[in-house]
Chain A
Amino acid sequence: MDESQLIAAAQNGDLPAFNQLVLRYQNLAYNVAYRILGDPDRAADATQDSFIKAYKALRNFHGGTFKPWLLRIVTNTCYDYLRASKRKPTNSLDDELKKGDYNPRFHDKGEGPEKYVERRELNNIIQQSIEQLNEHQRAVIVLVDIQGLSYEETADILGISLGTVKSRLSRARARLRDILQEHQELLPAQYRFPHRENATDIRQ
């Protein structure tokens, strides 16, 4: 069964067909939720809520691509979670790194323990840097740079214009660059920033 057939079946109340779609997209949805929320448990709750909302709203889905439609529900649910929790101001990156209790599950690549630890540290640094951004910048950077979606898809998912995507993305990237530059000693060697001779020219 291809995706459109699964969607049509699910719209007629075929729950197993919908669950096929869930299995296809659950990792993507969870990744987006985790990167926006920064908490594995809340990300799992938000993902589950998103699929429940998607099932309920499926009768309003009139063709098109399922992936951006689903991701719109996921990002909106994450926004709701962020607002509902009224999160405390995020701690500094140093404080977050000291915690070291983030333990998300990565795709098993059959790597050794050293590589695993390196990937886990890299993930922590990236995640904690993303959490320094506001919710709108987070969503754009997660969709474009981490999930690799196009500007058009991102604009469609977030319901904003292309120009807004560009401006939010550039601000988010610049902010992340500043944060990561301050902590680049924590980055794996291949990800360290190029040596800057004219730093004063850049940061005036």
Chain B
Amino acid sequence: MRHSSTISDELLSAYIDRQINEAELRRVEKALVAEPALQQRLETLQATVALLRSAPSLVAPRTFVLSENQALAAGGRVRGVKQPEFWERWLPRLTPVATAIIAILFIFSIAHPFQSIEPNQMADGAAPTALTNKSAKEAQEMQSLALEQPAAAPRVAESRDGAKAANDEKPAVSMAAASADETEKASEAPQSLSAEQTSSRPEPQPAPAGPRVSWTTWLLGLLLIPFIFLTWRITIARWRR
């Protein structure tokens, strides 16, 4: 509210509660005599305060005494009651989180199976997921080397069918792309790589038909079962409480 008086509402409010010093008290009382409007403001403010102070007192709708469970759940200690162990307090909180993480990893492992980088487990043309940039680069070099091998092929072609030799080289290309260790060895002496060496390598195993489930997926799946069970039990226990 705006007013023309020199006495503010704050001073007037403090005057009602006598929360002002002597100088302010004299100033207010002097102004009250001189200004009828100020007197009116004081009266309405006093009526407001009186109304508020007459507000009925309420009865609490129920009692708020704490049960042992409430006190313990709040982290307080209760004499005569064993404090829950650390794992008893934290297991109910961590289990749902752990279940969610394992479930996500499980779904991820099904969608993108964790592949071993061992060469004899690689499918033809499968890109190794764990290859570093360095080994990928080396693998590319190996690929280009292997593609240049047809120059040495005629020596091999004496005893073999040309088409078979070509077929033998293709697995060598994929093998080179797969194994970082072998790539390093090959890059140490690329010139010594001959068609005989290439052809003497074991035949790559064909990729098994159907979706492949890695051991990691199995492990996550097995872990998920007890975690889901624990989460279910904890949820039921909370509902009952």
Q: Which residues of A contact B (CB under 8 A)?
A: 12-15, 18-19, 22-23, 26-27, 29-31, 34-35, 40, 44, 47-48, 51-53, 55-56, 58, 104-108, 119-120, 122-123, 126-127, 141, 144-146, 148, 151, 166-167, 169-171, 173-174, 176-178, 180-181, 187, 191-194, 196-198, 201-204
* Shortest distance between the CB of B9 and any CB in chain A (Å): 5
Q: Evaluate contact between B4 and A167: CB separation under 8 angstroms.
A: no
CB of B14 within 8 Å of the partner chain = yes
- Interface size class, chain B: 35 or more
Q: Evaluate contact between A166 and B56: CB separation under 8 angstroms.
A: no
10 A-B contacts, Cβ less than 8 Å apart? A22-B65, A29-B64, A56-B74, A126-B52, A170-B10, A173-B49, A174-B1, A177-B47, A194-B44, A202-B37
Q: Evaluate contact between A151 and B53: CB separation under 8 angstroms.
A: no
Q: Evaluate contact between A187 and B51: CB separation under 8 angstroms.
A: yes
Inter-chain residue pair count (beta carbon < 8 A) = 169
Contact of B37 (CB < 8 Å), options: A26, A171, A198:
A198
Contact of B66 (CB < 8 Å), options: A31, A55, A166, A181:
A55
A105 to B62, CA, bound (A): 11
Contact of B76 (CB < 8 Å), options: A34, A58, A173, A201:
A58
Q: Evaluate contact between B51 and A40: CB separation under 8 angstroms.
A: no
Contact of B51 (CB < 8 Å), options: A22, A48, A166, A191:
A191
* Shortest distance between the CB of A183 and any CB in chain B (Å): 11
* Shortest distance between the CB of B6 and any CB in chain A (Å): 14
Given contacts A55-B66, A198-B40, contact A106 B56 (CB under 8 A): yes
Given contacts A174-B9, A204-B2, contact A105 B53 (CB under 8 A): no
CB of B70 within 8 Å of the partner chain = yes
Residues of A within 8 Å of B63, CB to CB, are 22-23, 26
Q: Which residues of B contact A (CB under 8 A)?
A: 1-4, 8-14, 17, 19, 36-37, 40-41, 43-45, 47-66, 68, 70-71, 73-80
Residues of A within 8 Å of B14, CB to CB, are 166, 170
Given contacts A13-B79, A15-B78, A166-B10, contact A27 B66 (CB under 8 A): no
Residues of A within 8 Å of B80, CB to CB, are 13
Q: Evaluate contact between A106 and B53: CB separation under 8 angstroms.
A: no
Contact of A176 (CB < 8 Å), options: B4, B48, B66, B74:
B48
Contact of A22 (CB < 8 Å), options: B49, B64, B73:
B64
Q: Evaluate contact between A193 and B47: CB separation under 8 angstroms.
A: yes
Residues of B within 8 Å of A52, CB to CB, are 66, 70-71, 73-74
* Shortest distance between the CB of B174 and any CB in chain A (Å): 60
Which of chain A's residues has its CB closest to B52's CB? Answer: A145
A103 to B241, CA, bound (A): 30
Residues of A within 8 Å of B49, CB to CB, are 145, 173
